[in-house]
Structure 1
Amino acid sequence: MVAIVLHDLGEHREAHRWFATARRAAKQSGDRLLHAWVLGREAMVPLNYGAPAAAAKLTDEARHLAGNSPSAAAALAAAVASRAYAIGGHRDKALVAVADVERLAGRLTPQQHADTWFGYPLQKHHVHMSQALTQLGETGRAYETQATALELSRAP
């Protein structure tokens, strides 16, 4: 949580240090989904600071750890991967990640969709998809998902 707050504050180097600690702890715990979630969240740092290849590398590992079963960690990793690949110019990989996250998001439980630290809320899903689809030039789909994100942002 500290790493996420530091990232939000623009302290990306310090955020990486905290994420490294979180990664070690998650790995030592043996909880693959927690480890995947940490990597997926950490990937947001290089993604937002102009290093999509580094973000893609982290999301690849996160997606491997999360597996194919629906989970907030798997959905987050695929969503961030879709953005990283799209920004990095890897259209085919980005489209696969978009399809994966759409499939996963549609199968999450209400608890997994909860707007909590470890959830994958629908509003954030649509923000991720909007950015990926915009980068891919899929303007019509991007506008649709942007409208949904805005609608969900107004919900209580």
Structure 2
Amino acid sequence: MYYAIFESPIGPILLAGDEEGLKYVNFMKGKKKIEVPDSWVENEEFFREASRQLEAYFAGELKSFDVKLAPEGTEFQKSVWNALKEIPYGETRTYGEIAKNIGNPKASRAVGLANNRNPIAIIVPCHRVIGANGKLTGYASGLDIKEFLLKLEGSC
């Protein structure tokens, strides 16, 4: 597994992946912080395109990512993550709306758990999911980061 650290306006972000694609985009703070295993190899060149797209995103110049992804998870989790990628830049959805979109309208709590386990922050935009009451809820890297991302996108 290769990795690189991307310096963002809201702190360092770990990028990790292999030839299959990007497996992790993870803020280096919060509950979901990943420690880099000794077996991983630092390789900034491998993540050049992902870093370029993240730079453009944080500059407000990119609204949709085009990098190869290879998240690891259950089929249900992957269905949720695919639904997250369909939420347009600048918009939000509730957990219940995502559950309906994947054909399982009573699974809003399970959607929340899958959202929490999303290994590819920002690119798979779990930050665009809000509570049924319209409030910001549950973001493992901190609600301050979620709010920053939504403000950047003009939806908060």
- Structure (1 or 2) with the greater strand fraction: 2
Give the TM-score normalised by structure 2. Answer: 0.34
- Structure (1 or 2) with the greater helix fraction: 1
Q: Which has the higher contact order (CA 8 A, sep 6+)?
A: 2
Give the TM-score normalised by structure 1. Answer: 0.34
